[in-house]
Structures are given as structure tokens and as C-alpha cells.
């Protein structure tokens, strides 16, 4: 992180970034680059830490699954090479084959990474670094925690509920700093100020207008008002209701001097608000119960701001909250890891917030995350070079695959879909042969791996019913276009404004928020039908190409479906209950049979029941 303009922190630069080349970080006894640190044991006594455990040999199922995936990919490469050597190409076909191969290679790498993750979770060892029980703290070890809550135009009643939950924390040594920035309307901040005063001296209220730096600027200002003796900084969003045991359970992790950050998952208390919100909540859960748990094994979690605890000295060493990306939390978390600090994760829920108000807000939030992720990639890639930071090989691998899996998969998927739309009239009307099945079958196979990966890992790790699981699939697919747009914006624009996610206001919009997804879905379906109708010679490759177009339309159809459901009565659970009741009423009446079954049966007959 570079040195920031003092104006970004409300008049005073809080921290100055330090050089990573000096190897600054936690105490010298900490791990060096290249060492795998599995983390402190789940139960810590004083500053005691456990040695690195031996890595268990892979199970047979793990080896078989990885070997099968590698052999399939090897066969594809061999077929591609043979096809190139054994065919005569016109320029158009050669161009399509070359470009298609370049785009398919990342998709194949992503598919292999997903197969590996399935194997690791289904057949590998249980997580070793996950905080699954409160550690034992040294007697009397209760370092002071300063809880920071940034707020911008938040509903006062929602924020008061958050403050009341903080007041109920079962931890003796904390303060709470509320920063309301760029909110001139007294209706938003006066009730909050009065509520802080009523809660007592632990609660500090800070208000400022024309603050620069978005959320990071508010967090920097909170640092100015933090008590001098506070050792831990906690951050929660204005909509979060924390559990009383949050600090009591997690602060003892900092008894280990190498721990710089402890992260708890996000969760939401309004998932039953509508069918769409139920689906969104299920989609979020996958990240916190699958991806974060696995990344935690390599000390490579993604910091997501709310529900995180940060050692104050680590925060200062990393240069504080930076405003040069719009994902200041993830940026800071990666910087801490680059300095050699350890981060710990628990998937136990210690707080619940609110979901985005609408599908549009959900998309805007995902756009911000993806664009911010691309900014972080551009900012930090040099620190992944040998000797440039204290990141281990495993940490670099997790972040590289994470960026490829998330930003790359969605962007490449959209790029391939757009190119295939352009290619349809060439195949259908100009008699130029479609690229062989070596370019089409991998797209279908990659999509199939993604679906299996999603369903299998949800069944293994996420507590979700079948209905919510199906909704989560739709929600996850629906943001493909959004993520691809964010990546394209990251390629051409260095800075976009921070867009606040609308929550807690029950805001409804009459607009349809999946217009471009609807256009792309229609073009892909029309293209598939056109290819099938014009394929009078029943060329197999053309029919496969048509199937590929249908598969590529599914993410866009998912976005259209969610946007349409949001505007319809089907988004209300009451509608489904009414439909269910009417369906039951239409069933044939079988009262006598039901009564006969319900009546007590004679003893001899009961003995015949299996």
C-alpha cells in the first residue's frame, strides 16, 4: 500500500505504509516464506502453539478422481494436437480453432481445480485450522477491543438494533465507535446519536460530512477516535446483530502473537423475506461454508470486513485501511498475509445482517466485489513474485486459483458465449465448418463439472434444503454477466465509486433488472434453433454446437428468472402456501380411507405391518 493523501482520512493521515521487502511482520519466531503454517490449535493456552501437523496421504477416492480428471484433459490435448495435424484449415476455421483453444485452456484449468476441491472435501481429511471451539484464554487476558461501525444513510432503527446487540456483548473490556459519514439529513443521525448517549460512555458517536475515501475513510476516522489502550479492532456493518459470545469466544485467539486477524462468517436474518432472498442467502452460505473453510487450511482466507477482528499493531503495520480499491477489507487482509501474519476463520455464525433489498442491489454488490477483486489483483500481483512478500507457495496458489475460478470463469464464459453468437451465421449460412467437437464438448463438460461441484459441496458442507439449494444454483448463475462486466470495467477503468448496497429499507423497483441477460439468452436460444433447423445434413458437430449454445444461455436465463420472479406474486411465500392449499383441495377426497388408516387396528393386523 502506498502513502495516502491526508485528506482521505478527514484531515490526518493515520498510518504510513511500510516496505514489504524488509520482511516486517509478526514476531521473528513466526513462519518464513515457503513454510506451511496450519495455525494455532483450536484450543489455545497462553501463547502456546502447535507444530505443523503431518499431511495425511490422499485417500483412494481422491487419487482416482484426480487421475480421471487428468486423463480426460490429457486425452483432450492429444485429440486437439491430432486434429491440428490431420486437417486442412481455411483461415476462418484456423482462427476459430486457435481462439477457441486459448479461451478453453483457462476453463479446463478451472474445471480441474474444481475436481480437486471435490476430491479434497469428499475424500480428504477434516479441516485442521478451523476454529470449532472457543479457545482457553489465559486467566485475566481480556485485551481491550474497539468495535467500529461505519454508517452511511442507514435507517436509524436498524442501526439502533445493531448497537443494542453490541451493548449485550459478554465481554468486559470493549468500546464502540460509530462513524456516520456524508449523511447531512438529521433524520438519519440524530436518533443514533441520542441512542449512543443513552447506552453509556462505551459508545462514541462521530459524524462528519464531505469525508473522502468511502467506507475506508470512515474506518480511518474511527481509528482517530479509538482508545489508546485498545489492542484489537473489530468491524461490523451497520445492519449486523452480533451474538453476545462473539468477542468472548474469538478474542482469545490473539493470545498467539502471530495471529493478526480472526474472521467470522456473514449470515442473514431475513432469508425468509421472499423466495429470491431465500435463494440469495443459500448462495452466500456456500462461500462461507466451503470456500473459506478450504482456504483457511492454507492461511489464505479472504477478509470480508464485517465480523472481523484485527490486531491493532498488524493493522498499523499494513498501512491501515486503503481507499485505492473499493474492497478495502479484502485488500487489507491480503496485505496482512503478505507481511507474514496468521489469519484464522470460524464458520460458526456470530452475527446476522440483512440481505440486499432487491435483485438489482444483489447485482450491484456482486459488481463491487468483482471490480474490487480485479483492482486487488492489479495492485498485488507483483507481491506474488519470488521474494516479494512473505506469502507461502500455498497462499499464492489459493489466491491465484481463486481469482481465476471467480473472475476468470465468469468472464471467459461470457466471452465464449458472445463469440459463439457471432459464429452462428457463419456456420449456418456460409458453409464454413464449425470447429470440431474438441471445442464444443469441453464447454459442456466444464459446465457439468461446475454444477456437480456446486451440488456435491453444498450437500457435504452447507445446511440447505433441496429448495434452497436449487435457488442457490440460480442465484450463483445469475451474476455471470455482472461479474464479466465488472472485470471489463476493471480492464479499462482504474477507479469506480463505492456503491452502497441497499438494505433494510424494503425498497422495491418497477424496473426489470436483467435486460442484457434477456437479450443474450434470446440470441443464444435463437442461434441454437437456427443451427438445428439449417443443419439439413445432420452434421453431428453442428448439433453439438447448438447444445453448447443452450448450455451457455442458462446463466442468463437464471438472471431473467430471478428478475421476473422478483416482480411477481411468486416471490412471496404466502403465494406458494396458497397454491399448495388449493392443490390439496383439488385432490380426490379419500376421507373414509384416511379414517380407516388413522383408526386403531386390531392386534393381529398390526403384526402384519413391516
What is the structure's pLDDT at 362?
95
Q: Residue 207 falls within a domain, yes or no?
A: yes
The pLDDT of residue 559 is: 97
Q: How does strand 241-242 pair with strand 351-352?
A: antiparallel
Q: Cα(345)–Cα(260) distance, rounded to whole angstroms?
A: 12
Report the share of the chain in percent with pLDDT over 90.
62
| Residue predicted with more confidence, 271 or 58 | 271
Tell me the three state secondary structure of residue 150: strand
- 444 in Cβ contact with 548 (< 8 Å): yes
Q: Distances in Å between the alpha carbon of 74 and those of 190, 450, 494?
A: 65, 19, 39
Answer yes or no: is 48 within a domain: no
CA angle 20, 21, 26 (to 5 degrees): 55
**What is the spatial distance between Cα 313 and Cα 317, in angstroms, rounded to a whole number?**
6
Question: What average pLDDT does the segment 266-295 reach?
Answer: 95
For residue 17, is pLDDT > 90? Answer: no
Same domain? For 84 and 227 the reply is: no
pLDDT by residue (tens digit) across 494-540? 777 766 677 766 555 667 889 999 999 999 999 999 999 999 888 88
Long-range contacts of the stretch 336-339 (C-beta < 8 A, 24+): 336/260, 336/261, 336/303, 336/310, 337/299, 337/300, 337/390, 337/391, 337/395, 338/20, 338/380, 338/383, 338/389, 338/390, 338/391, 339/20, 339/24, 339/25, 339/26, 339/260, 339/314, 339/389, 339/390
pLDDT at 363 over 50: yes
Q: What is the model's pLDDT at position 111?
A: 92
pLDDT of residue 139: 63
Do 74 and 150 belong to one domain?
A: no
The residue segments making up the domain with residue 473 are: 60-125+404-503+510-571
List the one residue out of 566, 498, 159, 504 whose CA is nearest residue 357. Answer: 504
Spatial neighbors of 538 by CB under 8 A, at least 6 apart, are: none
Same-domain check for residues 266 and 326: yes
Domain annotation covers residue 8: no
Whole-number Å distance between alpha carbons of 590 and 23: 77
**Pair (110, 213) in one structural domain:** no
- Rounded to the nearest angstrom, the gap between the alpha carbon of residue 214 and the centroid of all alpha carbons in its chain is 21
Residue 47 in any domain: the answer is: no
User: What is d(CA 97, CA 434) in angstroms, rounded to the nearest whole number?
Assistant: 9
Whether residues 116 and 154 share a domain: the answer is: no
> Of the ranges 209-223, 254-268, 544-558, 596-610, which one carries the lowest mean pLDDT score?
596-610
Is residue 121 located within the same domain as residue 147? no
Number of domains observed in the structure of the chain: 2
Nearest CA to 420 among 517, 518, 550? 550
* pTM, full prediction: 0.84
Q: Are residues 189 and 332 in the same domain?
A: yes
What is the SS3 assignment for 474?
helix
Residues 299 and 344 grouped into a single domain = yes
CA dist list (Å): 116 to 72, 82, 91, 443:
14, 28, 38, 18
430: helix, strand or coil: coil
Band (pLDDT 50/70/90 cuts) for residue 599 is: very low
Which of 584, 602, 111 is CA-nearest to residue 576? 584
In 3D, which of 150, 157, 144, 147 has the Cα closest to residue 230? 144
Average pLDDT over residues 451-461: 94
SS3 513: coil
User: Of the candidates 571, 587, 602, which is a domain's last residue?
Assistant: 571
- Residue 11 DSSP one-character state: S
Q: Which of 317-331, 365-379, 592-606 has the lowest mean pLDDT?
A: 592-606
- Predicted local distance difference test score (pLDDT) of residue 334: 97
In the structure, what pLDDT confidence band is assigned to residue 306 with cuts at 50, 70 and 90? very high
* Confidence at residue 557, expressed as pLDDT on a 0 to 100 scale: 98
Q: Are 175 and 146 in contact (CB under 8 A)?
A: yes
Residue 262 located in a structural domain: yes
Nearest to residue 464, comparing CAs of 295, 296, 284? 284
Is the residue at 82 inside a domain? yes
Which pLDDT does position 48 carry in this prediction? 39
Q: How many CA atoms lie within 13 A of 562 on its CB side?
A: 30
Name the domain boundary from 303, 334, 358.
Answer: 358
Cβ contact 259:364 at 8 Å: no
* pLDDT of res. 576: 85
117 and 177 assigned to the same domain: no
CATH at 161:
3.90.550.10
SS (H, E, C) 194-247: HHHHHHCCCEEEEEECCCCCHHHHHHHHHHHCCCCCCCEEEECCCCCEECCCHH
**b/e per residue 160-180 (b: at least 16 CB within 10 A):** bbbbebbeebebeebbbbbbb
What integer pLDDT is reported at residue 277 of this predicted model?
95
Return the minimum-mean-pLDDT range out of 53-67, 208-222, 576-590.
53-67
DSSP of 42-96? SS--TT--PPPPPPPPPPHHHHHHHHHHHHHHHHHHHHHHHHHHH----HHHHHH
* Domain presence at residue 606: no
Asked if 326 and 423 sit in the same domain, the reply is no
**How many degrees, rounded to 5, is the angle at CA 493 between CA 491 and CA 496?**
125
Q: How confident is the model at residue 579 (pLDDT cuts 50, 70, 90)?
A: confident
- 153 has pLDDT over 60: yes
Specify the higher pLDDT residue, 50 or 451: 451
Q: Which of 325, 341, 358 is a domain's end point? A: 358
Confidence band, pLDDT 50/70/90 cuts, at residue 60: confident
pLDDT value for 364: 94
At 179, give phi and psi (nearest 5°). -115, 115
Q: What is the pLDDT of residue 403?
A: 93
Q: Quick one: 431 and 476 in the same domain?
A: yes
pLDDT one-digit tens code per residue, 180-201: 999 999 999 999 999 999 999 9
Q: What contacts 24+ positions apart, CB below 8 Å, involve 47-53?
A: 47/255, 47/256, 47/257, 49/256, 49/258, 53/128
pLDDT tens for each residue of 77-92: 888 888 888 777 777 7
pLDDT, the chain, mean? 84
pLDDT tens digits, one per residue of 496-509: 776 667 776 655 56
Length, in residues, of the chain: 610
Split at pLDDT 50, 70, 90, the class of 42 is very low
Q: 25: closest CA among 263, 283, 337? A: 337
- Predicted pLDDT at 608: 33
Beta bridge partners of 342: 259
Q: How far is CA 301 from CA 44, 319, 541, in A?
A: 20, 19, 43
Please tell me whether residues 170 and 281 are part of one structural domain: yes
Task: Assess if residue 489 is contained within a domain.
Answer: yes
Tell me what pLDDT residue 588 has: 79
CA–CA separation, 419 and 97 (whole Å)? 12
Assign 320 to helix, strand or coil.
coil
Amino acid at each position: 500500500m502506498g502513502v495516502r493523501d491526508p485528506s482521505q482520512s478527514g484531515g490526518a493521515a493515520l498510518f504510513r505504509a511500510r516496505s514489504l521487502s524488509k520482511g516486517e511482520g509478526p514476531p521473528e519466531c513466526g513462519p518464513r516464506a515457503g513454510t506451511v503454517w496450519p495455525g494455532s490449535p483450536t484450543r489455545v493456552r497462553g501463547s502456546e502453539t502447535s507444530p505443523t501437523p503431518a499431511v495425511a496421504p490422499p485417500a483412494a477416492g481422491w487419487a482416482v478422481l484426480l487421475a480421471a480428471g487428468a486423463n480426460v484433459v490429457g486425452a483432450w490435448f492429444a485429440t486437439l494436437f491430432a486434429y491440428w495435424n490431420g486437417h486442412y484449415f481455411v483461415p476462418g476455421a484456423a482462427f476459430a480453432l486457435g481462439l477457441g483453444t486459448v479461451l478453453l485452456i483457462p476453463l479446463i484449468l478451472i474445471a480441474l481445480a474444481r475436481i480437486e476441491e471435490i476430491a479434497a472435501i469428499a475424500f480428504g481429511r477434516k479441516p485442521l485450522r478451523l476454529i470449532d471451539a472457543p479457545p482457553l484464554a489465559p486467566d485475566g487476558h481480556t485485551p481491550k477491543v474497539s468495535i467500529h461501525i461505519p454508517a452511511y444513510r442507514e435507517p436509524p432503527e436498524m442501526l439502533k438494533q445493531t448497537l443494542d446487540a453490541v451493548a449485550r456483548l459478554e465481554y468486559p473490556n470493549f468500546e464502540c465507535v460509530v462513524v456516520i459519514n456524508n449523511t447531512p439529513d438529521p433524520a438519519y443521525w440524530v436518533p443514533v446519536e441520542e441512542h449512543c448517549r443513552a447506552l453509556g460512555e462505551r459508545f462514541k458517536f462521530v459524524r462528519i460530512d464531505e469525508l473522502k475515501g468511502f467506507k475506508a475513510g470512515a474506518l480511518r476516522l474511527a481509528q482517530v477516535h479509538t482508545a489508546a489502550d485498545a489492542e484489537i479492532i473489530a468491524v461490523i456493518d451497520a445492519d449486523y446483530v452480533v451474538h453476545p459470545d462473539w468477542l468472548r469466544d474469538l478474542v482469545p485467539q490473539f493470545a498467539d502473537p502471530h495471529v493478526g486477524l480472526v474472521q467470522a462468517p456473514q449470515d442473514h436474518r431475513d432469508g425468509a423475506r421472499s423466495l429470491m432472498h431465500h435463494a440469495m442467502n443459500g448462495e452466500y452460505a456456500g462461500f462461507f461454508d466451503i470456500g473459506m473453510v478450504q482456504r483457511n487450511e492454507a492461511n489464505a482466507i479472504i477478509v470480508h470486513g464485517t465480523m472481523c477482528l484485527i490486531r491493532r499493531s498488524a493493522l498499523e503495520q499494513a498501512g491501515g485501511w486503503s481507499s485505492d480499491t473499493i474492497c478495502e477489507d479484502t485488500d487489507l487482509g491480503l496485505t496482512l498475509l503478505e507481511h507474514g501474519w496468521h489469519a484464522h476463520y470460524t464458520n460458526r455464525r456470530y452475527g446476522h445482517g440483512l440481505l440486499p433489498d432487491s435483485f438489482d442491489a444483489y447485482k450491484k454488490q456482486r459488481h463491487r466485489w468483482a471490480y474490487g477483486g480485479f483492482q486487488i489483483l492489479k495492485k498485488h500481483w507483483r507481491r506474488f513474485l519470488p521474494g516479494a512478500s512473505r506469502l507461502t507457495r500455498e497462499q499464492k496458489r489459493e489466491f491465484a486459483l481463486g481469482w481465476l475460478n471467480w473472475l476468470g470463469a465468469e468472464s471467459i464464459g461470457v466471452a465464449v458465449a458472445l463469440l459463439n453468437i457471432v459464429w452462428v451465421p457463419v456456420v449456418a449460412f456460409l458453409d464454413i465448418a464449425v470447429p470440431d467437437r474438441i471445442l464444443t464438448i469441453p464447454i459442456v463438460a466444464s459446465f457439468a463439472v461446475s454444477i456437480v461441484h456446486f451440488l456435491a459441496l453444498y450437500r457435504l458442507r452447507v445446511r440447505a434444503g433441496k429448495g434452497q439449494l436449487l435457488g442457490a444454483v440460480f442465484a450463483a448463475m445469475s451474476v455471470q454477466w455482472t461479474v464479466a462486466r465488472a472485470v471489463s470495467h476493471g480492464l479499462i477503468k482504474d477507479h469506480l465509486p463505492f456503491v452502497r448496497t441497499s438494505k433494510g429499507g424494503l425498497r422495491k423497483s418497477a424496473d426489470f433488472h436483467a435486460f442484457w441477460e434477456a437479450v443474450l439468452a434470446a440470441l443464444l436460444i435463437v442461434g441454437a434453433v437456427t443451427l438445428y433447423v439449417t443443419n439439413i445434413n445432420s452434421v453431428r458437430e453442428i448439433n453439438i454446437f447448438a447444445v453448447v449454445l443452450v448450455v451457455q444461455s442458462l446463466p442468463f436465463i437464471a438472471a431473467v428468472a430471478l428478475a421476473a420472479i422478483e416482480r411477481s406474486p411468486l416471490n412471496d411465500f404466502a403465494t406458494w402456501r396458497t397454491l399448495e392449499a388449493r392443490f390439496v383441495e383439488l385432490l380426490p377426497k379419500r376421507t373414509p380411507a384416511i379414517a380407516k388408516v388413522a383408526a386403531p387396528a386390531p392386534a393381529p393386523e398390526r403384526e402384519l405391518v413391516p
